[in-house]
């Protein structure tokens, strides 16, 4: 059985049929490691009421009324639909829903991310953290994505990751945003410049400490915020769909769009959440991994790799982009390797060395 040895990996690599799936989980600090929080991790193959519940909410002067039946699991996705209220006399002509985590909650130092696709109507498809109310709360919004804004001049919202935080104490609000346009993704990222409803996007947040929050998008850093007041509360994970006739939301959808099932649904393929815990000092694989040397890192023109043992027949080195594509493959014939990275754009990469039964993985920055 092959053994995978990780050494200071800044990107999680998940083995799956057909290759690699890369997500943006950040590098764990020295002496720490990421541990899956099962209560906040789900592939959404079925509805799990032990992890999630449907929290209904109607906000101020909006046309939205939330109902439980508009949130459900189907075909491996959590779906939140925006539909037309059959009550023609109601001012709340859009029915929607909200799903929140039950029990275990998110508090620094933690990392959570989900793979999601926004609906195609003028509304917010959201993924956020919250605990509290208008007069007192901690809140971190990973995204409030509007893929099809109806408000004039707001076309850029189809690309903007509306990420921000609120810390409210005794009705006094501290707020800052880390808004980030997905055109800022690296040139080799296939989701660069793609609307939120045209493909699934992986959105994550690392609550680093009581003041620092780092956002991620499709395997890359996507804005950071630093608070003045500390985050003190454990927060629930929340997804919902809502809208309002305001420029900052993007405007209202057309009521007839709520009847179009190809447009009115937000999809969440999965959510993965991790605690940062102590890394055991007697981790044998970590000791072995330290014998694989890669330098300089960050690199400019070329990289040196030194294996801890002689290569066997078929030994290979592969370089993966943050999207999971193989950008370079090299046969290994000796313990010391030197290769050029002049042809690679600046950014983050994953180096994989396969030598017999051992697989070494490290992050490379150019």
Maximal C-alpha separation, the chain: 77
- Residue 243 contacts residue 94 (beta carbons within 8 Å): yes
- Residue 44 contacts residue 269 (beta carbons within 8 Å): yes
Q: Which of 113, 139, 220, 257 is catalytic?
A: 139
Distance CA 119, CA 81 (A): 8
Distance CA 159, CA 33 (A): 33
Using the structure block, give the residue that is written with the tokens 């799956």. Answer: 16
Q: Which of 27, 35, 88, 144 is catalytic?
A: 144
Using the structure block, give the residue that is written with the tokens 């999207």. Answer: 323
Distance CA 145, CA 133 (A): 22
Annotation says 187 is catalytic: no
The torsion angle over the Cα atoms of residues 304, 309, 310 and 312, rounded to 10 degrees, is -100
Compute the half-sphere exposure of residue 36: CA atoms within 13 Å on the CB side of its CA.
Answer: 7
Which residues are CB-contacts of 89 (< 8 A; sequence separation ≥ 6)? Answer: none
- The tokens of 88 are what? 């023609």
Annotation says 256 is catalytic: no
Q: Which residues does the annotation mark as catalytic? A: 139, 144
């Amino acid at each position: 059985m092959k053994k995978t040895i990780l050494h200071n990996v800044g990107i999680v690599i998940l083995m799956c049929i057909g290759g690699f799936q890369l997500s943006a989980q950040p590098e764990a600090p020295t002496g720490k490691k990421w541990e899956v929080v099962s209560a906040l991790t789900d592939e959404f193959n079925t509805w799990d009421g032990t992890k999630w519940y449907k929290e209904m909410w109607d906000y101020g002067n909006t046309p939205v009324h939330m109902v439980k039946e508009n949130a459900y699991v189907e075909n491996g996705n959590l779906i939140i639909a925006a539909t037309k209220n059959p009550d023609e006399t109601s001012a709340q002509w859009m029915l929607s829903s909200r799903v929140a985590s039950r029990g275990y909650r998110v508090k620094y130092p933690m990392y959570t991310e989900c793979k999601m696709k926004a609906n195609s109507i003028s509304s917010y498809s959201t993924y956020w953290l919250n605990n509290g109310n208008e007069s007192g709360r901690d809140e971190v919004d990973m995204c409030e994505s509007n893929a099809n804004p109806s408000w004039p001049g707001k076309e850029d919202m189809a690309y903007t990751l509306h990420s921000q935080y609120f810390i409210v104490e005794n009705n006094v609000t501290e707020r800052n945003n880390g808004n980030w346009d997905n055109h800022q993704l690296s040139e080799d990222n296939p989701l660069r410049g793609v609307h939120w409803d045209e493909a699934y996007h992986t959105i994550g947040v690392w609550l680093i400490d009581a003041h620092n929050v780092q956002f991620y998008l499709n395997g890359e850093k996507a804005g950071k915020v630093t608070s003045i007041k500390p985050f003190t509360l454990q927060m629930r994970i929340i997804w919902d769909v809502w809208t309002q006739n305001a420029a900052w939301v993007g405007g209202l959808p057309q009521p007839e769009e709520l009847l179009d099932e190809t447009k009115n649904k937000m999809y969440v393929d999965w959510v993965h959440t991790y605690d940062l815990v102590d890394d055991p000092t007697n981790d044998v694989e970590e000791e072995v991994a330290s014998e694989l040397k890669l330098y300089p890192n960050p690199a400019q023109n070329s990289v040196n790799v030194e294996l801890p043992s002689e290569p066997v027949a078929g030994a290979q080195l592969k370089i993966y982009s943050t999207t999971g594509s193989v950008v370079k493959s090299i046969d290994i014939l000796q313990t010391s390797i030197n290769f050029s990275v002049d042809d690679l754009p600046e950014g983050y990469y994953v180096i994989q060395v396969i030598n017999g039964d051992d697989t070494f993985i490290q992050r490379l920055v150019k």
